[in-house]
A and B are shown apart, each in its own frame.
Chain A
């Protein structure tokens, strides 16, 4: 019994991490119409930069913030100087992000070597809380809380601010938004920075659970892809629901069917693709 509770807690904390990763991925996909294949690399690079921050004597939260800011800056550079040059050509843009992901992965391997690096849980959040006869690790609960807070903030931003209204307009119909005077190109940069920053922050946040190792990027990217296909591109609610679904599958799958873990993970995605190609909460088809 307690094994299932542990799995459930792990599912939700992993879902929370996944939401931080895929919210940006989903917004970028919704707005720019491209899956940003560097997203997993930004997650991994964020974690590595956080590790370096810790080694330089920063505390955990400053390091996580540093990761987020560094990745936001890198995302801005990628969008402004590389993707912008290929504006309107979606396929070359995707291939560009794929090429960049190989470069980032190899540079990480060069700088931080191939050994996995484990990161200790920040001091205040170590230990467990007893609840209803079970014990829950505080850090994992904190991740869920952070994800929910960020989800709420993103929702407020998207639904209640001018910037959010412009992003929604861009997701719905970029050419018309442009005609109406929405600076869509500047939105691309903003959303890319935001998404990249969240991915980097999530990388560091996940480091105490997942540790940091080469291949983390390739592990996370398909998950973000599944989340977006499940939830529908550009939909925040879709990303949230999709993340928790994938979090559950990712943790329960290997426990129930150890050898078919990946099949269990991808099966719902295939079902959604066949039955509802635009995703559970998406409005437009892929």
Chain B
């Protein structure tokens, strides 16, 4: 049953360019996948580590800007991609060293401040970042000589990266390291007593999260072929956090569902109204008030509850 559903989902995703109709929708699907990779990366910290970061847009943007600079400087596509990811992981290490001095609200405030610094650099350090005008990326890379210029080719490439991200997350969750991270979330003191280095576990988790955030940033930079300070704003950080929380943090499917929901809402909302931030804020508030555990666990709970109700009703009538 589970396997069949998985196979169906894979077939549907791979053949999506053929049935969805129109490059506009293919591009939206690519966006959803990119944001899903980003949300999966953030979910490592938020869901499994219990560390809520509001500065991840800074890391996302770091990857984008780094790739744009390196490409503009004439470095080859592969080298600039690797360089951008390397730089993002380094930046994540810096973030982690500073932010992991605290947990909980303190962690959130420090990451927020760090994210704002990076935004400030992107916005104000004009000789380096071209300020509000952003940087254009002349061409998408051509891995193995294949062109990614068309929406469907780019979609397939993004889908492959997305698949890798999901596989990486699944094995991470199942690994002893994933179990350690969940342990530090639930019982940090007990983990210390058991001899685990809680700080190191969190630090490595931050790097892992930063790595996938960087991958997502890189994909987005290739997708848009343009980077601007807008990528690094607090509202980007909030958006991706909303994806994680609305879908269900600490689950594998949650961030993917959240990314689908938020990108779809954003696309639909911006077609009809200009007020995306209003909608974003309203969903945020509604989710926190009504379904704090997120859509995926929330609907599972509703499903179980409905099934139990039906079973009880069946038992009552059979008696």
Are A286 and B284 touching (Cβ within 8 A)? no
Min distance, Cβ A114 to any Cβ of chain B, angstroms: 11
Closest A residue, CB atoms, query B94: A270
Chain A residues within an 8 Å CB radius of B32: none
Q: Does A107 contact B (CB under 8 A)?
A: yes
Q: Mark B242-272, 1 if CB is under 8 A from A, else 0.
A: 0001000000000000000000000000000
Closest A residue, CB atoms, query B233: A218
Are A102 and B288 touching (Cβ within 8 A)? no
* B105 in complex: contacting residue of A90, A99, A266, CB < 8 Å: A90
Of residues 251 through 286 on chain A, the ones whose CB sits less than 8 Å from some CB of chain B are 258-263, 265-266, 269-270, 273-274, 277, 285-286
Q: Select the stretch in A127-135, A153-161, A222-230 that faces chain B.
A: A222-230
Are A262 and B117 touching (Cβ within 8 A)? yes
Known: A92-B288, A99-B281, A101-B281. A262 touches B121 (CB 8 A): yes
Known: A102-B238, A225-B113. A263 touches B120 (CB 8 A): yes
Of residues 141 through 175 on chain B, the ones whose CB sits less than 8 Å from some CB of chain A are none
Known: A98-B238, A102-B280, A273-B110. A266 touches B116 (CB 8 A): yes
Closest B residue, CB atoms, query A92: B288
The docked-state distance in angstroms from the alpha carbon of A110 to that of B285 is: 20
Min distance, Cβ A71 to any Cβ of chain B, angstroms: 18
Chain A at the B interface: SS class = helix
Q: Select the stretch in B14-22, B67-75, B122-130, B215-223 that faces chain A.
A: B122-130
The docked-state distance in angstroms from the alpha carbon of A285 to that of B119 is: 27
Most buried by B among A35, A86, A262: A262
Of residues 213 through 252 on chain A, the ones whose CB sits less than 8 Å from some CB of chain B are 218, 222, 225-226, 229
Chain B residues within an 8 Å CB radius of A265: 120
Are B281 and A263 touching (Cβ within 8 A)? no
The docked-state distance in angstroms from the alpha carbon of A104 to that of B101 is: 32
Are A103 and B285 touching (Cβ within 8 A)? yes
Interface size for A (C-beta < 8 A) is: 44
Q: Mark B174-198, 1 if CB is under 8 A from A, else 0.
A: 0000000000000000000000000
Chain B residues within an 8 Å CB radius of A226: 113
* A102 in complex: contacting residue of B54, B105, B114, B284, CB < 8 Å: B284
Min distance, Cβ B165 to any Cβ of chain A, angstroms: 25
Min distance, Cβ B178 to any Cβ of chain A, angstroms: 21
Q: Does A91 contact B (CB under 8 A)?
A: yes
Are B104 and A90 touching (Cβ within 8 A)? yes
Q: Does A82 contact B (CB under 8 A)?
A: yes
The docked-state distance in angstroms from the alpha carbon of A228 to that of B106 is: 11
The docked-state distance in angstroms from the alpha carbon of A34 to that of B101 is: 18
Q: Does B204 contact A (CB under 8 A)?
A: no
Additional A-B contact list (19), CB under 8 Å, known A94-B108, A103-B285: A34-B105, A86-B289, A91-B104, A91-B105, A91-B108, A99-B282, A102-B277, A102-B280, A103-B282, A106-B275, A106-B277, A225-B109, A259-B127, A260-B121, A260-B125, A262-B120, A263-B120, A285-B106, A286-B109
Q: Spell out B's residues near A (CB within 8 Å).
A: 52, 54, 98, 101-102, 104-106, 108-110, 112-114, 116-117, 119-121, 123-128, 233-235, 238, 241, 245, 275, 277-278, 280-285, 288-289, 292
Q: Spell out A's residues near B (CB within 8 Å).
A: 33-35, 82, 85-86, 89-92, 94-96, 98-107, 110, 218, 222, 225-226, 229, 258-263, 265-266, 269-270, 273-274, 277, 285-286
Can you list 15 pairs linking A and B with CB atoms under 8 Å apart? A82-B285, A85-B289, A86-B289, A100-B281, A102-B277, A102-B278, A102-B280, A105-B277, A260-B125, A262-B119, A263-B117, A266-B113, A269-B113, A273-B102, A285-B106
